Amino acid sequence: MKLLQLSDLHLPRPGEQLYGQDPHIHLREALADIAAHHADAELLVLSGDLADAGHPAAYRALRGALAGLPMPCQLMLGNHDLRDTFAAVFPEALDADGFAQAHRATPEGHLIFLDTLEHECTEGHLCPRRLAWLQSQLESARGEPVFLFAHHPPFRIGMPMLDACGLAEADALHALCQAHGNVRHLFAGHVHRPVAGSWRGIPFSAVKGTHHQAKQQFADEFVTAMEPPGYAVILIGADNVAVHFHDFPTRAQP
Ligand SMILES: [Fe+2]
C-alpha cells in the first residue's frame, strides 16, 4: 500500500504571500509532482495546518486544488486551522462528534486519523470525547495493525520550541497504545522537519511542510526557513513500513 503525506500547507487567502512566497503555488507544485510520480498512491493524507489562519477562501482554494486528484484525500486539522470555517467548505470531513477524525480499513491494517486541534491553542489536545473515540477505534481493530496519524506529535524531537507545543495528552495517548498493543507507527506533522525515530517503543515519523520549514537548531529559538519543501511517500506491507522523505521541485527552488 502506498500512501502520501503532505503537511502544513499554511494556505492564506489566494493572492497573499507568506514569508515572501505563495503557499498556493507550492501546493500546486506538490500536486503536480504527485501526479507525475505517485498517481498510483491509494490515499493522500494532508496532516493539518491546511490554512494559515483558517480563512474560508483558503479552504475553498484547497478544495479546488484537490478536485482533479486520482486518489482520495484525508484532510486533518492543525493549530492554524479553524474547525468551523473548514467545516463550511468540507462538511463531509467531520464525524458525528463534530471532529475531523476518521478511520479507514485497509488490507494492511487500520488507518486512524486524529483531530488534535483545540481552538486558540498552539499545542494539541485530545479531550475525553476524542480519547474515547480513539479507544473504541483501537478496540474495534481487534489486535490488527493500526497506523496512527496526528497533526501534533506526542513525541519530542529535541527542538525545545516545538517540543513545548506538541500533543498535551501524550501520556493518555500512550496508555491507549499500550493497552491495545497494535499501533505500528505514528505519523505527524506540525514540526516542519523530516524526522524519524521511536517514542516509548512505537516508531514515528514527521514530515516537512509544503511551504516553509523550521530551521534545524536545538536551542530555545524558533526560526522559519525557506528550505526545499517536501512530502512523504509511505509504503506499508504485511511486515514493513518505509517512509521516504521526498523534496519536490518548486519554482523558487528548482
Ligand atoms: Fe504548521
Distance 122 CA to ligand 1 centre (A): 10
Distance 45 CA to ligand 1 centre (A): 15
Distance 176 CA to ligand 1 centre (A): 26
- Domain 2-247: give its CATH code: 3.60.21.10
Distance 205 CA to ligand 1 centre (A): 15
Distance 127 CA to ligand 1 centre (A): 21
Distance 48 CA to ligand 1 centre (A): 7
Distance 46 CA to ligand 1 centre (A): 12
Distance 140 CA to ligand 1 centre (A): 31
> What pLDDT tens digit does each residue of the chain (254 aa) get?
999 999 999 999 999 999 999 999 999 999 999 999 999 999 999 999 999 999 999 999 999 999 989 999 999 999 999 999 999 999 999 999 999 999 999 999 999 999 999 999 999 999 999 999 999 999 999 999 999 999 999 999 999 999 999 999 999 999 999 999 999 999 999 999 999 999 999 999 999 999 999 999 998 888 999 999 999 999 999 999 999 999 999 987 65
Distance 23 CA to ligand 1 centre (A): 12
Distance 142 CA to ligand 1 centre (A): 33
Distance 143 CA to ligand 1 centre (A): 32
Distance 215 CA to ligand 1 centre (A): 13
Distance 136 CA to ligand 1 centre (A): 29
Distance 44 CA to ligand 1 centre (A): 18
Domains in the chain: boundaries: 2-247
Distance 214 CA to ligand 1 centre (A): 9
Distance 155 CA to ligand 1 centre (A): 16
Annotate the chain with DSSP letters as a single string: -EEEEE----B-STT--BTTB-HHHHHHHHHHHHHHH-TT-SEEEEES--BSS--HHHHHHHHHHHTT-SS-EEEE--TT--HHHHHHH-GGGS-TTSS--EEEEETTEEEEE-----TT-SSB---HHHHHHHHHHHHHTTTS-EEEEESS-SS--S-HHHHTTSBTTHHHHHHHHHHH--EEEEEE-SS-S-EEEEETTEEEEE---SS-EE----SS---EE-PPPEEEEEEEETTEEEEEEEE---SS--
Distance 139 CA to ligand 1 centre (A): 31
Distance 190 CA to ligand 1 centre (A): 5
